[in-house]
Amino acid sequence: MAKRRKSGGGFLRGVLYGLIVSVAIFLGLSLGFPLVEPAPMASVTNPVQTAPQAFDVGPGSPDDSGVSVGSSSDSLPSIGSSDNLSTGSAVEQPVVATQSAAVPDIGDGAGNTVEVAPDVASEPDPVAVAAQPDIVTASESAPSLPDAASGEAFDVFSVPFTRDSDLPMLAIVFEDTLEASLQLLFNAGIPLTFAVSGDVQDRQVSRNFRESGFEVLTLMPDNVPIDANLSQSIIGFIENVPASIGVIDNNNTGVMIDGTATQVLIETAAVNGMGTIAFAGAGDINARNLAQFYGKPFGSVHRVIDGVAENAAIKNALDRATLTAQTSGSAIVYARTRDTTIQALIEWIASPRATRVQIVPVSQIMRP
């Protein structure tokens, strides 16, 4: 019995000894590796909101602008915040002024000059200004023209136009004879071309045509002398018809039936940055070769559609010109501003035959 108690007492002493050793080890580790208090967690119940900073990058002097731009040797521009510009404020839109084009003040049916009042366009909303189309047609306004071409007259004064490559081209050139009102032509909204005689007394006539969206040609007057002064005469005719893209020969007493005169006409037009138009069978082959030599625009009138001044005959001539355009890819026809011719054209435009071609400004056909 005494032996068992001795053995039991040894066990208790072993347990106590183990506890003492464990406590000593724990204290030693605590002193060697002290605990580090963790950083406090950020509160998500009340997040911090930062308002966006406004910047002043508008025009003005360096004193009131947030942008500082130096020379190429300076550091990059610095953009500072503006105390006067609050975020979310509306920006004032500029007011866009428009100018309606004048309708040519010519043709009352009695050979007199009359003014046709143009439609007054309302001022667009300054906040939402629609983009202007690239195409200018007879019913749209065109910007005011410069007094002189800043480059090639043909390029400067040609009407911007978008081609439909699926259709052949038909150009209609009208000689203004002051015999009829042109309002029906203006209302039709098709890109016609007007030939204005070089001896016209009012230079504003051609400008009115061009500013209304039509292309203009300088028409050689009747019975121009073919002499040593021909070039100077042609220059004078060109100066009388501002905004002209080219010179068209006279259908009755043209100068292109003479080879030397044709060369003078082509050269004079080329020097002035303009193209030329001849009539088929009246020196047009020689004129075309010379124009190609100079690399200048050229066109040849295929048909005079009102040689017989009857409504049905004029429409038949337009039908035949359409067939020519479908065969050759393009055609130019010539007419005069007479009541019968204008009425026949308006009726023909509404016919199925007219849908087989695209009526274009003559410059589209003349381009080399």
- Per the CB < 8 A criterion, the answer to whether 317 and 158 are in contact is no
146: enclosing H helix or E strand: none
Which residues span the domain enclosing 169?
153-366
The predicted pLDDT at position 210 comes to: 94
pLDDT tens across 88-121, in order? 444 444 443 434 344 444 454 455 544 444 444 4
The predicted pLDDT at position 111 comes to: 53
Instruction: Choose the most confident range, by mean pLDDT, from 15-29, 173-187, 197-211, 310-324.
Output: 310-324
The one-letter amino acid code at 19 reads L
In a domain, 138, yes or no: no
Residue 354 DSSP SS3: helix
Q: What is the 3-state secondary structure (H, E, C) of 56-69?
A: CCCCCCCCCCCEEC
In a domain, 45, yes or no: no
The predicted pLDDT at position 200 comes to: 85
Tokens of 169: 């081209």
Sign of CA dihedral 311, 314, 320, 322: negative
The predicted pLDDT at position 16 comes to: 74
CATH value at residue 239: 3.20.20.370
In a domain, 209, yes or no: yes
In a domain, 263, yes or no: yes
The predicted pLDDT at position 234 comes to: 96
The predicted pLDDT at position 148 comes to: 57
Tell me the residue ranges of DSSP E strands in the chain: 67-68, 78-79, 169-175, 193-197, 215-219, 244-248, 275-279, 298-301, 303-304, 330-336, 358-359
Instruction: Report the percentage of the chain scoring pLDDT > 70.
Output: 62
The predicted pLDDT at position 201 comes to: 78
The pTM score is 0.62
In a domain, 60, yes or no: no
**How many domains does the chain fold into?**
1
Mean pLDDT of 49-60: 42
In a domain, 67, yes or no: no
Mean pLDDT of 17-26: 74
Of the listed ranges 127-131, 243-247, 330-334, the one predicted with least confidence? 127-131
Of the listed ranges 22-26, 136-140, 282-286, the one predicted with least confidence? 136-140
In a domain, 321, yes or no: yes
The H-assigned helical ranges of 241-296 are 259-271, 284-294
Residue 26 backbone dihedrals phi, psi, to 5 degrees: -60, -40
pLDDT higher than 90, residue 343:
yes
In a domain, 136, yes or no: no
Beta bridge partners of 175: 195, 336
pLDDT tens across 221-257, in order? 999 999 999 999 999 999 999 999 999 999 988 999 9
